Structure 1
Amino acid sequence: MELHIKGKTALVTGGDSGIGIETAKYLVREGAHVILSDKEAGKELNEAKAEVEKECQMGAKVFAMAADLANNNAVVKMAKQIEEQHGGVHIVFHSAGARGAADDFLKLTDDDWMQTIEIDLLGAVRVARAFIPQMLKNKWGRMIMVASENAFQPYEKESPYNACKAAVINLSKCLSRSYSEENILFNCISPAFVKTPMTDAMMEEVAEERNVSLDEAEKWFVKNKRPHIAMERRGKPEEVAAMVAFLCSEQASYINGANIRIDGGAVESAFG
């Protein structure tokens, strides 16, 4: 299926790994120019750029740009640079995020909460505020934000992350009601237990705690902590990226204000 995004410019935050880099690959294969962004410039971001460049088709180009989304000035500076150098964006896939502080609720401090809020909620707010004007100027836009199964099926040790991801879905829905007449569409995806650096770190913790291999840790975790995943495995980043790429496209012109679960059945309720 052709996505009709040749020549469009896309920003992918959290673009140096996981779902971000796999989505970037889909977009450049469709001829879109992609700007990979992550918190820091350096080896990982440069290697991601080189990896995505191998997938380019139809004249697509790849760029790399660092910005700390917990710093509003850094986001504003990045937006200004993108507008000056690329004429603004048409697509934003906001993939950047972090698990943040995780512990018993009564042990979590205000600082723990704010650390997660700064990245997982205010990061989304800052990115939307910085790049919606560019979409308005270009008279076409798609913004996809990453939420989580945690928004529907919260886990007791991750209350800040749970709350932030629920808020991201609400934010996206709010924005979808504000700019649809300008042909700017906002949607969320809610992955569950996908192989990313964040879940890799979780599995390393489990492996250390249980003194088992990473493979054994993952099998134990799926069986005991995520028993509703019908696929009985972690998801692959490219399985999520395929849906994101579709939501970025002209073909998704009647999908707005939606949240799409890509979770292997992880959320127990049919209506979550």
Structure 2
Amino acid sequence: MQIDLSGKSAIVTGSTAGIGFAIARGLAESGAEVTVTGRTQARVDAAIETIRQAVPGAAVSGVAADLGTAEGCRALIDARPETDILVNNVGIFGPQDFFEVDDATWQQFFDVNVMSAVRLSRHYAQGMKARDWGRIQFISSESGLNIPSEMVHYGMTKSAVQSISRGLAKVLSGTRVTVNAILPGPTRSEGVLEMIRQAAEEQGVSQEEMEERFIRENRPSSIIQRLATPEEVANLCVYAASEQASATTGAALRVEGGIVDTMA
């Protein structure tokens, strides 16, 4: 299978590092014109340069904006009024005792993880529908199904975007616009590795041992028994963005290493 996205434009939110960066690079490798987004111009510029070095001739540019706000989403829309592919990846996470998560934190997680995707999808889906072609992806998580007790506030947001994904797919029924949720599991992103590094330091063990312990203690149902790589997640996202994935819509596409113990 040869995935060719030449002539297609893509926006990947939260794409200066981790899964988002891997998706942006994968789309660029497939020929798409990619817009990278991040909160600071410095990180956006660094990501663009890294992609250009890895993918000679890549058509990649960037927009710096805080997509956790309505103003930030408007800034991105003003800078890029249309796109063929939208990957709603931007998100925050962090373990915290349920009884210590205050209202402001709940609201922050909802604004960044959910409302950014709602605002951008609401805008870009209209153009896709008018052109009768488009791809929208919501980066959810296995945590949206297996709500982690240490991150109830995070799991809630990932359940929400999965619901929105399914509903929006129905809204766009009969068009050539597909909408899917992508469900990664624990992935070797910068944020996850930093969380594990801190835990390893606190417990006086190596990072490698802490990674193994994390999977064993927190995701014992994992079939691959390891963290996935951002590239493994990105591969599924690139396929879902392709013409070849034209009959895949309204789906929750799992790339979580078999953690969710169901066959559906």
TM-score, structure 1 normalization: 0.91
Q: Give ranges in structure 1 of 5+ residues lacking alignment.
A: none
Report deviation, 1:201. 2.6
Pick the aligned partner of 2:87 from 83, 93, 98. Answer: 93
Alpha-carbon distance in structure 2 between the residues aligned to 1:149 and 1:91: 23
Amino acid corresponding to residue 184 of structure 2 in structure 1: P
Alpha-carbon distance in structure 2 between the residues aligned to 1:15 and 1:61: 15
Which range is displaced more, 260-269 or 189-198?
260-269
Please say if 1:249 is aligned against 2:232: no
The answer to whether the Cα contact below 8 Å between 2:8 and 2:33 also exists between their aligned partners in 1 is yes
Which residue number corresponds to residue 261 of structure 1? 254
Alpha-carbon distance in structure 2 between the residues aligned to 1:182 and 1:39: 33
Report deviation, 1:55. 4.2
Report deviation, 1:70. 1.2
The answer to whether the Cα contact below 8 Å between 1:12 and 1:37 also exists between their aligned partners in 2 is yes
Which residue number corresponds to residue 62 of structure 2? 64
Which residue number corresponds to residue 23 of structure 2? 23
Report deviation, 1:260. 0.9
Please say if 1:136 is aligned against 2:129: yes
The answer to whether the Cα contact below 8 Å between 2:68 and 2:113 also exists between their aligned partners in 1 is no
What is the DSSP-based 3-state SS (H/G/I as helix, E as strand, rest coil) of the residue aligned with 1:261?
Answer: strand
Which residue number corresponds to residue 51 of structure 1? 50
Which residue number corresponds to residue 163 of structure 1? 156
Alpha-carbon distance in structure 2 between the residues aligned to 1:230 and 1:164: 25
Structure 1, residues 4-53: CA drift from partner, whole Å, max 9, x if none?
421100001111111112122221222110000112211x2212111212
Amino acid corresponding to residue 100 of structure 2 in structure 1: K
The structure 1 segments of at least 4 consecutive aligned residues displaced by more than 6 Å after TM superposition are none
Alpha-carbon distance in structure 2 between the residues aligned to 1:262 and 1:67: 28
Q: What is the root-mean-square deviation in Å for CA atoms of aligned residues?
A: 1.6
Q: What is the percent sequence identity of the aligned residues?
A: 30
Alpha-carbon distance in structure 2 between the residues aligned to 1:111 and 1:79: 26
Aligned length in residues: 264
What is the DSSP-based 3-state SS (H/G/I as helix, E as strand, rest coil) of the residue aligned with 1:212?
Answer: coil
What is the DSSP-based 3-state SS (H/G/I as helix, E as strand, rest coil) of the residue aligned with 2:150?
Answer: coil
Amino acid corresponding to residue 98 of structure 1 in structure 2: I
